[in-house]
Amino acid sequence: MGTVKPSIDSVRGFQVAGVHAGLKKDGAPDFSLIVSEVDCVAAGVFTRNKVKAAPVLLDMQRLEENPKSIRAVATNTISANACTGAIGLKNARASANLVADALSIVAEQVLVMSTGVIGTHLPMDKIARGVELSSANLGSDWRAVAAGIMTTDTRPKLGSITVNTDAGTYTIAGIVKGAGMIAPNMATMLSVIVTDAELLLPDLQSSLSSAAQQSYNRIVVDGDTSTNDTVLLLANGMSGVSVASDAELDAFQAALNALAQFLAQEVVRDGEGVTKFVTLNIVNAESEADAERIGQTIGASVLTKSAFYGSDANWGRIVAAAGRADTPFDPDSASLRVAAGESVASDAPGLEIFSGGMPTDYREADAAAIMAEPSITFTLDCGIGEGAATIWTCDISHEYISINGDYRS
Amino acid sequence: MGTVKPSIDSVRGFQVAGVHAGLKKDGAPDFSLIVSEVDCVAAGVFTRNKVKAAPVLLDMQRLEENPKSIRAVATNTISANACTGAIGLKNARASANLVADALSIVAEQVLVMSTGVIGTHLPMDKIARGVELSSANLGSDWRAVAAGIMTTDTRPKLGSITVNTDAGTYTIAGIVKGAGMIAPNMATMLSVIVTDAELLLPDLQSSLSSAAQQSYNRIVVDGDTSTNDTVLLLANGMSGVSVASDAELDAFQAALNALAQFLAQEVVRDGEGVTKFVTLNIVNAESEADAERIGQTIGASVLTKSAFYGSDANWGRIVAAAGRADTPFDPDSASLRVAAGESVASDAPGLEIFSGGMPTDYREADAAAIMAEPSITFTLDCGIGEGAATIWTCDISHEYISINGDYRS
């Protein structure tokens, strides 16, 4: 297995385009299209919010009814097409119809994604313009596609990984958008991952679910969960490499996990107003689920995030957040270390600042020097079991408030 | 029943003092003492955080073992005496001992509260100075007591209500501190309520639990829950009015609820960096607990709070927050109204901005005019049951981030 690189050269059989359809006022790419030359097996993971956007409802239905001959994914920005009732569902279908007509395929082969303001109807004239322009300009500019799904993101986020096997080489590549409203259970995040490997549908879906659980579901920007979260995985088999045996599936899973974690972390790094990237290793909790819950509670704590922003090693807020997670926790058994940089391991190094229910006699200057770094790792050893999970999160800054105080204007 | 007024004249048999013991750097009151001439029956409600501060552990034990002869409550600021291990518990006991010595009572009659930074030991010399000064200056300056428990609060918060009965008149009076870290289940909030009515212990405890559930547990500033939350209720019976029959208890409960709601709302109004007071009426949910959970999820949503700050009628974020509360919710059955001011009722007036799964055709200018007000009421009709609850919350501002980014410095 290779390593993830932050770019995509090409993935056999896929063509893409990111264009300006007139949705964004500044002329930036605002509509994107990903097309496979041949039918794809496709899997999806969607928001658990009870308020689901029209494109989510449509894609869920298509993956239920027609998961083995997907050909295209179209994404628009500016309007989330959420809370738009029957009109919204009609517009989502109409968008897919436009793509199908342009590509001479059938509508059931098209998936759609939307991101932007909730409660506004899709401007169908601009969607039509986006379909027209993108379908006429298909190529291999994956960076433009990643740019075409951005909202308050500051940069395109994309990555790829190549896997060499005895039967040949295949690639897994993906794009993601995030920024605000990112939380456990995926929040306003759209991601499309494609591969030219060949997989059976059940294997593809279980690989995606497993990867999402270890990546997109383990990041916290602001604790909110959106109406539109979607992660899609399309496999077109054009590499001729079949992934079917346990060993082949393990290799695929490892590569997919690495890519999904890279993309998920990119979302945190590019979160709204983020100045610090924080890795939270929760180890020796009663179970993995407990470790995850503790990490997510810490990551979503506004008080803790404010302290990260202020470069304050306020371990008290971290321990207090752990104490209110709905899970077994005993401060007297717990210890907390902090280190500069990123380290995902139960034995991550660092300065121990809390142990046995009390702060250690660490020097505040030492902690402050670590906290001043742009990337920090906290390792919370719960001391009561063997469950572990790593959560990636960030600080909350003045800029976050500015962006979200006036988003719709 | 009278109405709550934002001051306390006197409560028979109680004497108080708020003094500067040298804990705060600016010379402001930082230590307070409340003393009853005679034994009080006392009840408490404490944080549900698994990380409980030493004073919380001590008070819980005292109210378990000696709830019928409490005489004093002493509160220090600057140090929360939380995450301080055995030394912390020893210091909490020592603080109570100092009070007992100064007042010539026994230590088991003294309750203690602490607020401030987690993980620092009580500076016992200054605690001794606080006990010495406050016990020598007991009087009726309740405003000084309320000031003496403040941390990042901007003003003392106190109130009282008088109840006239055939048997005479009694008073219920209380102080509260809050500011940041205020959430469902009480967060870093300290409150002491005293009354000169006479109640039996079980009635007192159930009255307090019920009042807290409808007040302190229904406010959200930042969604965090602290290690030190404490609400105490002391009854010394000095008015000679017994509260024992169902009718008497109902009248007491109504007055206590009104006072507790006033004090809880004061905490929100004085929250860190708060510029808007928001009343969330959740009506026609499947149950009262569901309504409360939906309101708390909306109130704790950073995205929603940012929109409040920006005076943006971003109903989409409110509906999306409701959709991710762990409770039944169907956007197609729901409607949302917004009005200026405070209104706690299922038929609260307002501009309908969302209905039947979609925004209504309201004029954005009308919504913006309402959102520009310092006090706003949202009424979310879930349309699926009869459960209702009102949550009081606020916006999140630049100032909040500034305060909490650098609190320990």
Location of structure tokens 């140090």 = B79
For residues B338 and B376, the answer to whether their CB atoms sit within 8 Å is yes
pLDDT of residue B11: 97
Q: What is the pLDDT of residue B326?
A: 85
Query: Apex CA A366: angle with CA A394 and CA B82, to 5°?
Result: 70
Partners of residue A303 in chain B, C-beta under 8 Å: 180-181, 222, 224, 404
A150, two tokens: 């951005």
B310 CA: distance to closest CA in chain A (Å): 4
pLDDT, mean of residues B51-68? 96
Residue B70: inside a domain? yes
Handedness of CA A145, A146, A152, A154 (dihedral sign): negative
Residues A191 and A256 reside in one and the same domain: yes
Do both B283 and B255 map to the same domain?
no
Residues B228-282 pLDDT 10s: 889 999 999 999 999 999 999 999 999 999 999 999 999 988 877 778 899 999 9
Q: Mark whether B95 and B216 lie in a shared domain.
A: yes
Residue A1 lies in a domain: no
Active-site residue, from A47, A75, A171, A188: A188
A8 in a structural domain: no
Structural domains of chain A, count? 2
Distance CA A347, CA A333 (A): 17
Banded pLDDT at B179 (limits 50, 70, 90):
low
Q: CA–CA separation, B363 vs B369, rounded Å?
A: 10
Q: Is A321 on the interface with B (CB under 8 A)?
A: yes
Q: What is residue B403's predicted lDDT score, i.e. its pLDDT? A: 60
Indicate if A254 and A379 belong to the same structural domain.
no
CATH of the domain at B307: 3.10.20.340
Same domain, A294 and A221: no
B306 and B259 together in one domain: no
pLDDT at residue A370, as a whole number: 92
Domain of A326 in residue numbering reads as: 277-405
Say yes or no: B357 contacts chain A, CB-CB below 8 A.
yes
The CATH number that applies at residue A210 is: 3.60.70.12
**A399 in the same domain as A333:** yes
CA distances from A333 to A208, A286, A293, A387 (A): 36, 12, 18, 15
H or E segment and range at residue A86: helix A85-103
In a domain, B8, yes or no: no
Residue B102 domain flag:
yes
Contact indicator for B112, B7 with CB cutoff of 8 Å: no
Instruction: Clarify whether residues B220 and B328 are in a common domain.
Output: no
The answer on A180 and A219 residing in a single domain is yes
Say if residue A41's pLDDT is above 60.
yes
Is A307's pLDDT higher than 50? yes
Per-residue confidence at B113, pLDDT binned at 50, 70, 90? very high
Specify the pLDDT at position A49.
Answer: 85
- pLDDT value for A403: 60
Whether residues B221 and B167 share a domain: the answer is yes
- Write out pLDDT tens, residues A217-234: 888 766 566 788 899 999
Given a contact cutoff of 8 angstroms between Cβ atoms, the answer to whether B359 and A83 are in contact is: yes
For chain B, the average pLDDT equals 90
Tally C-beta pairs within 8 A across A and B. 201
User: In the listed set B249, B269, B289, which residue is the last one of a domain according to the structure?
Assistant: B269
Max mean pLDDT among A147-161, A213-227, B122-136, B331-345 falls in B122-136
Domain boundary residue among A253, A269, A285? A269
Selected residues 232-261 of chain B with any CB under 8 Å from a CB in chain A:
none
> Who contacts B321 (Cβ-Cβ below 8 Å, separation ≥6)?
A224, B297, B298, B301, B303, B304
ipTM greater than 0.95 = no
Q: Is the dihedral of CA A329, A334, A336, A342 positive or negative?
A: negative
Do A259 and A118 sit in the same domain of this protein?
Answer: yes
Contact B323 A50 (CB under 8 A): yes
Residue B9 forms part of a structural domain: no
**Residue B7 belongs to some domain of the structure:** no
Q: What is the pLDDT of residue B135?
A: 98
- Chain A contact for B217 (CB, 8 A cutoff): no
Residues B229, B370 within the same domain = no
Q: Is the pLDDT of residue B187 over 60?
A: no
A6, part of any domain: no
Per-residue pLDDT band for A13 (boundaries 50, 70, 90) equals: very high
Confidence of residue B409 (pLDDT cuts 50, 70, 90): very low
Where is the domain boundary, A269, A285, A308?
A: A269
More confident residue, B267 or B133: B133
* B 179-208 near A (Cβ less than 8 A): 180-181, 185
**Distance, C-alpha A359 to centroid of its chain:** 35
